């Protein structure tokens, strides 16, 4: 008879074990703790209310809103951050000009921008999108710059030798060379963006997972609060998995093989 | 075409000094000028295969890079076919000391770099195939460089260089890091390729035998700063070996002696 504990099943089996453990501890805390189940609901109740949220469509609506904002903000960060990073990496003068400002702005948490973003963009999607943009913009600029600087100079000499024009240098040398590290940077900054969206939605908007959590707390529905947290975690997990998969496509495979 | 004239070439590097400065001295004095090459006068005929020899650090790579336009001479002039060299050009392809295949491109794409301006795509593919087969890499068109052995990478790079149809080919120690047999085969292949395309090839090597077996001419650099210590045209027909041509053997001992090894083994 084949054991279920062979090494092929382990990567699935062990996480399932850990999750069950968390569930058990949760259940235990509810039972021995002195909170009322309205304040700290047990797993079963959370699962039932999850069903409610799914069947009446609210959960779907909030998930879509959050994903929409993250997508827009993230794309904006890519569209501006990566070209700027390339410029910083290739042009010494531009780097000396902008790098100090970027290094200064980078450690400021996107959440510190909440007051200003509301002042500038008012109420609605815009301030939230702006915060998400900020959260991924700086990490993307910094890692793109670093990646461009570390490109082997021989490749630029090859480009000069074969008479590449500027566009070809970008599309045939710079982009493919930095792609592997860019994928890692994208994965990390998308993770940050997903962290920030919840906070951003606690202000100024009436939809999204962050809003769901805030609104449920105000209505004293802690089961919905926990549902919101679970969905955020699950989607975050899925995004990370998806980005890891992207990093394995053929055109970036050479990097892991040559390293 | 590939007639090269080098006149009064000199190359200096200025290095920043790191040892302590005496107070009140002029900042300009912190820089130390190192003259690497001096008084280099050479002329290479079109289609010649020239081997450049010299001890490590004597400036062989530097000389090659300057002729190819990747580096600037401090003074002097270099003309290829009567035209002053101002920078890199697809007419003068450099094969780098360490593999410079683009790792994100397949062999086919790499070899195609010098052919990418051909309008007719079918003809382009045909040419790529021809050059890949010339270096016996048929079947590896869709492999990435990391999937090739060191020797195959060198051959792919050679194919890429030749495909660009340059007037001059520069090779900086093209055989380092290859095992003995691959080295011997690559030597032979390079000679064959040279005979086939008939272009000027300048190659730098540490290996005296490579230089004598392959070159139509050898140039030995040496001294501080380096100058041309010996320049010889080799009229021996190929394939060459030292027993067949005792004069070549004598020259070999002479070069060994010149490079500081009294007893050639
Ligand atoms: N960018 C640079 N700045 C300062 N000095 C340099 C620079 N490049 C080379 N040199 C010096 O020039 C000299 C010649 O270097 P080069 O690489 O041409 O030698 P080489 O003959 O090719 O040596 P090897 O056979 O080891 O490859 C060396 O002494 C080196 O220290
Ligand atoms: Mg060298």
B58 lies in some domain: yes
**Average of per-residue pLDDT across A128-155:** 93
Q: Is the C-beta atom of B196 inside 6 A of ligand 1?
A: no
Domain count, chain B: 1
**Average of per-residue pLDDT across A2-20:** 78
Share the mean pLDDT of chain A: 88
pLDDT of residue A6: 65
Point out the residues of chain B with pLDDT beneath 70. Answer: 17-30, 263-265
Ligand of minimum distance to the alpha carbon of B96 = 2
Nearest to B96 among A154, A163, A176 (CB): A154
Q: By C-alpha distance, which of A192, A193, A183, A194 is closest to A244?
A: A183
DSSP characters for A24-57?
HHHHHHHHHS-S-TTTS--HHHHHHHHHHHHHTS
B63 lies in some domain: yes
**Interface residue A167 vs chain B (CB under 8 A):** no
pLDDT of residue A171: 93
Query: Containing domain of residue B140, as a range?
Result: 4-19+31-233
**Average of per-residue pLDDT across A88-98:** 90
DSSP characters for A69-129?
HHHHHHHHHHHHHHHHHHHHHH-HHHHHHHHHHHHHHTTS-GGGGHHHHHHHH-SSHHHHH
B220 lies in some domain: yes
**Average of per-residue pLDDT across A75-80:** 96
B197 lies in some domain: yes
pLDDT digits (tens, 9 = 90+) for B145-176: 888 888 888 888 888 988 888 889 999 888 88
Contact criterion met (CB < 8 Å) for B144 and A257: yes
Q: DSSP label at B88?
A: -
Contact between B177 and B152 under an 8 Å Cβ cutoff? The reply is: no
B247 lies in some domain: no
Contact criterion met (CB < 8 Å) for A176 and B164: no
Burial (Cβ within 10 Å: 0-12, 13-18, ≥19) of residue B119: exposed
Query: What is the Cα A116 distance to its own chain's centre?
Result: 23
What is the token pair recorded at B154?
């060198």
Q: Is the C-beta atom of B59 inside 6 A of ligand 1?
A: yes
pLDDT digits (tens, 9 = 90+) for A186-210: 989 999 999 999 888 988 788 999 9
B74 lies in some domain: yes
Q: Out of A1-5, A101-105, B90-94, B205-209, which region has the weakest mean confidence (pLDDT)?
A: A1-5
Q: What is the CATH number of the domain that holds B205?
A: 3.40.50.300
- Cα(B205)–Cα(B97) distance, integer angstroms: 10
Percent of chain A residues past pLDDT 70, beyond the cut? 93
pLDDT of residue B23: 57
**Interface residue A40 vs chain B (CB under 8 A):** no
B240 lies in some domain: no
pLDDT of residue B5: 86
ipTM over 0.85: no
B122 lies in some domain: yes
**Interface residue A179 vs chain B (CB under 8 A):** yes
CB neighbours of residue B251 within 10 Å: 20
| Closest-CA distance of chain B to residue A184, Å | 17
**Interface residue A172 vs chain B (CB under 8 A):** yes
B103 contacts in chain A (CB < 8 Å): 254-255, 258
Higher pLDDT, A145 or A253: A145
Q: pTM here?
A: 0.82
Higher pLDDT, A47 or B178: A47
Domains of chain A as residue ranges with CATH: 46-257 (1.10.3720.10)
* pLDDT at A249 exceeding the cut of 90: no
pLDDT of residue A136: 93
pLDDT of residue A10: 80
Cis peptide before B225 (omega within 30 of 0): yes
Q: How many CB pairs under 8 A join A and B?
A: 55
A162 contacts in chain B (CB < 8 Å): 90, 93, 113-114, 164
Ligand of minimum distance to the alpha carbon of B206 = 1
Q: By C-alpha distance, which of A163, A157, A158, A105 is closest to A134?
A: A105
Q: Ligand 1 pocket test: which of B57, B96, B207, B226 has the largest number of ligand atoms within 8 Å of its C-beta?
A: B57
Q: For residue A152, what pLDDT band results from cuts at 50, 70 and 90?
A: very high
Q: Is the C-beta atom of B14 inside 6 A of ligand 1?
A: no
């Amino acid at each position: 008879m084949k054991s279920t504990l062979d090494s092929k099943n382990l990567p699935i089996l062990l996480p399932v074990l850990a999750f069950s453990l968390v569930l058990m501890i949760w259940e235990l805390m509810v039972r021995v703790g002195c909170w009322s189940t309205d304040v700290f609901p047990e797993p079963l109740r959370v699962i039932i209310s999850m069903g409610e949220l799914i069947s009446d469509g609210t959960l779907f609506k909030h998930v879509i809103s959050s994903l929409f904002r993250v997508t827009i903000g993230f794309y904006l960060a890519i569209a501006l951050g990566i070209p700027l990073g390339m410029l910083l990496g290739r042009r010494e003068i531009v780097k000396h000009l902008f790098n100090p400002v970027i290094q200064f702005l980078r450690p400021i948490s996107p959440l510190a921008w909440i007051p200003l973003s509301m002042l500038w963009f008012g109420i609605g999607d815009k301030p939230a999108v702006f915060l998400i943009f900020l959260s991924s913009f700086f990490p993307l600029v910094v890692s793109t710059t670093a990646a461009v600087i570390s490109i082997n100079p021989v490749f630029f000499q090859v480009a000069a030798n074969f008479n590449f024009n500027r566009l070809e240098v970008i599309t045939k040398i710079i982009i493919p060379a930095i792609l592997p590290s860019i994928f890692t940077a994208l994965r990390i900054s998308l993770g940050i963006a997903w962290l920030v969206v919840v906070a951003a939605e606690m202000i100024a908007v009436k939809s999204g997972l962050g809003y769901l959590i805030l609104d449920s707390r105000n209505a004293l529905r802690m089961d919905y609060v926990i549902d919101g947290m679970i969905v955020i975690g699950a989607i975050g997990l899925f995004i990370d998995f998806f980005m890891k998969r992207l990093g394995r496509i053929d055109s970036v495979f050479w990097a892991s093989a040559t390293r | 075409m590939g007639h090269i004239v080098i006149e009064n070439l000199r190359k200096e590097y200025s290095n920043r000094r790191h040892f302590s400065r005496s107070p009140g001295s002029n900042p300009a004095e912190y820089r130390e000028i190192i003259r690497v090459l001096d008084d280099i006068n050479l002329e290479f005929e079109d289609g010649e295969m020239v081997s450049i020899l010299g001890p490590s650090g004597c400036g062989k790579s530097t000389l090659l890079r300057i002729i190819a336009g990747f580096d600037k001479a401090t003074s002097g002039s270099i003309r290829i076919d009567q035209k002053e060299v101002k920078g890199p050009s697809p007419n003068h392809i450099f094969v780098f000391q360490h593999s410079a295949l683009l790792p994100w491109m397949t062999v086919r794409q790499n070899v195609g770099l010098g052919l990418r301006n051909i309008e007719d795509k079918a003809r382009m593919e045909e040419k790529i195939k021809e050059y890949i087969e010339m270096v016996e890499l048929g079947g590896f068109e869709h492999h990435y460089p990391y999937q090739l052995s060191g020797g195959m990478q060198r051959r792919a790079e050679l194919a890429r260089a030749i495909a660009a149809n340059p007037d001059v080919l520069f090779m900086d120690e093209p055989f380092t890091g290859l095992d003995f047999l691959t080295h011997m085969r690559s030597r032979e292949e390079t000679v064959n390729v040279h005979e086939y395309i008939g272009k000027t090839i300048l190659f730098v090597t540490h290996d005296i035998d490579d230089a004598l077996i392959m070159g139509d001419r050898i140039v030995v650099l040496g001294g501080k700063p380096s100058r041309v210590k010996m320049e010889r045209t080799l009229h021996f027909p190929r394939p060459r070996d030292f027993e067949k041509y005792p004069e070549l053997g004598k020259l070999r001992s002479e070069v060994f002696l010149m490079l500081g090894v009294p007893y050639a083994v």
